[in-house]
Structure 1
Amino acid sequence: MPGRGSGNPGPVFSLVMTAPALLTAPDTAAAPAVPAPSRLWTPKRVLVTRSAAERPHGQRVLSRLEAAGVDAIELLPGDRLPSLRGDDDRAAFMAAKDTMALVVPPPSKRKLQPIPPSADFRLDLAEGCPAHCQYCYLAGSLSGPPITRVWADLDEVLEGLDDHVGRGTVTSGTLERGGEGTTFEASCYTDPLAIEHLTGGLSRMVEHFGTHAWPGPVQLRATTKFDDVAGLLVLPHGGRTRLRFSVNATAVDRRFEGATAKVPARLGALAAVAAAGYPVGVTIAPIMPVDGWREQYAELLDGIAAAVPAGHDLTVECITHRFTPGSKETLLDWYPRTKLDMDESRRTTKRGRFGSVKHVYPRETMAELRGWFEREVAERLPGARLLYWT
């Protein structure tokens, strides 16, 4: 756990990474050439616990880090991470965002939980994200310094999924989404593509879902704000992984989504994975009624239509911006100069079953947004399925 001492670290080195100008997949119809990724995260520090280094997946991650030229690796003598807190909260935050930890999570982290409205079960390969989205959903969900923790026990987790097939309640057995089978969401607490070049975890998941003899229909789901998809194009996915791209209006992308691939690059990656036969999706989130929002979101929908061939399996998920008192406090600590609108007087309070509070747009605004998106998605993306609005 963060905040605990860990003894003397192992050797510390430096990192150098270069990318070719063009990544070209093998010459097959399902594996088109794609541009080199526009954004690759370079952690300045990698912490590896003893148990993580002993796991097969942990060893694969270490090999990928070394192959990528990442030398800033500290092999810890035990399973506790050193403290990442400091006297300067801003400096501690930036140091944490530049740090990756390879660990074995406690058993409590591995109990699969439903994740409505997205999927039957949450299937984490990591917690934390290197991006700098000023509305970050993790601000209200994860405690401690925001380092990216990569789970080293991925193999054991994948081996235990059979018992969950057919037991979900979000998609399994439902009239609306039963055709998706038992769904597993890999991007609840991380962006799996943001760290894929360093971990290979998403590829491992895709291959397992695509080749394993399952006791019933299943689907892996992952969403991303990145575009490094070249390594996914030739995998034996078997149509059992839906890759989705989180996209937004130009104003939101430019102002609030730092250290990510920009939306045009994400749409290029969307086109590439659709051409490789993956079922695909877009997560339009967080929707904000910025100036000119109708024109900007119409342009976005047209860009999606141009990226995905007519008749391809495409889903749309729409999530409006919301925040909690706790997430607002954290986000203002992280991004004190943000221009993100978090004025409670301009919102409606929504309470959960256990007294949780969320600040959402007023009913009139929500109705206007929802009505527009439902009409325009149907017109501009005919054949796409709008899974939910929230």
Structure 2
Amino acid sequence: MPTASPGPAALLDVGTIYHEPAVPDHPRGREILGRFPHARREVVRSHWNIPGLHGNEGKAEDWLRTKKTTLVLGLRKGMEIRPNGRSADFIAPGASNGCAMACSYCYVPRRKGYANPITTFVNVDAIAAAIRRHADRLGRKEAPNQVDPWFWVYDVGENGDCSVDAAISDNVRDLVALFRDLPNAKASFATKSVNRELLDYDPRGKTRVRFSLMPPVVAKLLDVRTSTIAERIAAIDDFVAAGYEVHLNLSPVVYYEGWLDDYRELFSDVDARIGSKARRQLRAEIIFLTHNDRLHEVNLRWHPRAEELLWVPDLQESKVSETGGTNVRYRRGLKRQLVAEFEALLRETLPYCGIRYAF
């Protein structure tokens, strides 16, 4: 058995809670505040704009400490459900934003400046109601697609990690229960944390967990404050047995000298450690690295070694992002070659693992 890293709850030692004025009016808000009775509370007008936290350049050096000691509580206002077509049919309004983990390539901090702790939304009942209304309007899924052959799939964790969110409140439990009862829909989220409390949620096949994997030597550098790769692989069979559909989120794929040899070893490890039930339902999504100039600047302040792998101008091309920053990704011709080589390796080493998409 792999050596266990601290569970999601151990990632948090909340000393300060920023919350919007209406948070204590909600049962979930009172529940969360009660879990951290000794934390200092500060009322703020908006969870998006907290003086001294968001946009505070001096917070970059405190990146990890802020994630451990700070929690933000708010109400989700927008309930937009967006089409996706890759990881899911739709992106649901998330019950959180930000994360206690600190993956150095994460896109969420790009909009938050120099601090990115968890923001938990306490009006999960309104989020669930919006999803239910949307699914009711859709009706039955008539034609299979690469997302799922039978159900409409909603990504419920686009801007956070549900495994960690579940250590703060019952929001994730409530969403798993929602989809368990929706006849035409399934939840989905990617995770880099193994939270075994989720094994008791009884999803009955209606929640897809996508365990994110990369070679351990790279994960040690880039996946900061996460469960080890060995723990994630070891959890696959247990989550399948508990009623989850389990896929692989091979993201981000980072190119470096010897990368294919490391991935061959990773896939061989997966093959050796999962059982027949997990193999029959295993699928993978492949997402090559996209980085961002704003995150690059923040990372240089707290984790410059990661940038040696992530920021490689000789191999990358840039594109202005929707939020005004500059995204970089592997040059088109190189990336086409890398994707082909990666897909060929996956098919060779895990022939039963279908590829849902790759880009």
Query: Structure 2-normalised TM-score?
Result: 0.84
Q: Can you list the C-alpha shifts for 1:364-387, whole angstroms capped at 9, x where unaligned?
A: 432332222222322332332211
Rounded Cα–Cα distance in structure 2 between residues aligned with 1:74 and 1:354: 33
2:130 maps to what in 1?
160
Cα 1:272–1:127 shift into 2, 3 Å: same
Work out whether 1:238 is the aligned partner of 2:213. Answer: no
Rounded Cα–Cα distance in structure 2 between residues aligned with 1:178 and 1:274: 17
Q: Can you list the C-alpha shifts for 1:323-372, whole angstroms capped at 9, x where unaligned?
A: 13333233334434543331323213356799875321123432332222
Rounded Cα–Cα distance in structure 1 between residues aligned with 2:203 and 2:244: 7
Cα distance, 1:53 vs. partner? 2.0
Farther off after superposition, 299-308 or 239-248 = 299-308
1:114 maps to what in 2?
83
Alignment match of 1:196 (pick from 151, 161, 166): 166
Within 5 Å, give how 1:88-99 maps onto structure 2.
88-91=58-61, 93-98=63-68, 99=70
> Aligned pair count?
344
Alignment match of 1:135 (pick from 96, 105, 117): 105
Rounded Cα–Cα distance in structure 1 between residues aligned with 2:75 and 2:21: 9
Work out whether 1:270 is the aligned partner of 2:239. Answer: no
Alignment match of 2:213 (pick from 247, 252, 270): 247
2:297 maps to what in 1?
329
1:372 maps to what in 2?
341
Gaps of 5+ in 2: none
Cα 1:343–1:51 shift into 2, 3 Å: same
2:310 maps to what in 1?
341
1:52 maps to what in 2?
23
Work out whether 1:312 is the aligned partner of 2:280. Answer: yes
- Letter in structure 2 aligned against 1:329: E
Cα 1:92–1:55 shift into 2, 3 Å: same
Farther off after superposition, 39-48 or 195-204 = 39-48
CA contact (8 A) 1:349 1:359 kept: yes
Work out whether 1:102 is the aligned partner of 2:69. Answer: no
2:330 maps to what in 1?
361
Cα distance, 1:77 vs. partner? 5.3
Q: Can you list the C-alpha shifts for 1:229-281, whole angstroms capped at 9, x where unaligned?
A: 2x222322121100111110122111111111110011122221012231101
CA contact (8 A) 1:301 1:381 kept: yes
**SS of equivalent to 2:211:** strand
- Letter in structure 2 aligned against 1:184: Y
Q: Can you list the C-alpha shifts for 1:198-231, whole angstroms capped at 9, x where unaligned?
A: 2232222112211x2x3x52110011111122x2
Rounded Cα–Cα distance in structure 2 between residues aligned with 1:177 and 1:289: 26
**SS of equivalent to 1:312:** helix
Q: Can you list the C-alpha shifts for 1:305-336, whole angstroms capped at 9, x where unaligned?
A: 23432343122011111213333233334434
Rounded Cα–Cα distance in structure 2 between residues aligned with 1:172 and 1:102: 39
Rounded Cα–Cα distance in structure 1 between residues aligned with 2:85 and 2:292: 18
Rounded Cα–Cα distance in structure 2 between residues aligned with 1:163 and 1:172: 18
CA contact (8 A) 2:147 2:153 kept: no
Rounded Cα–Cα distance in structure 1 between residues aligned with 2:259 and 2:219: 12
Cα 1:269–1:175 shift into 2, 3 Å: closer
- Letter in structure 2 aligned against 1:371: A
Q: Can you list the C-alpha shifts for 1:35-77, whole angstroms capped at 9, x where unaligned?
A: 78555312332414442222122233345x2xxxx44323445
Cα distance, 1:140 vs. partner? 2.4
- Letter in structure 2 aligned against 1:161: I
Cα 1:315–1:96 shift into 2, 3 Å: same
**SS of equivalent to 2:177:** helix
1:21 maps to what in 2?
none
Cα 1:374–1:88 shift into 2, 3 Å: closer
Cα 1:150–1:354 shift into 2, 3 Å: closer
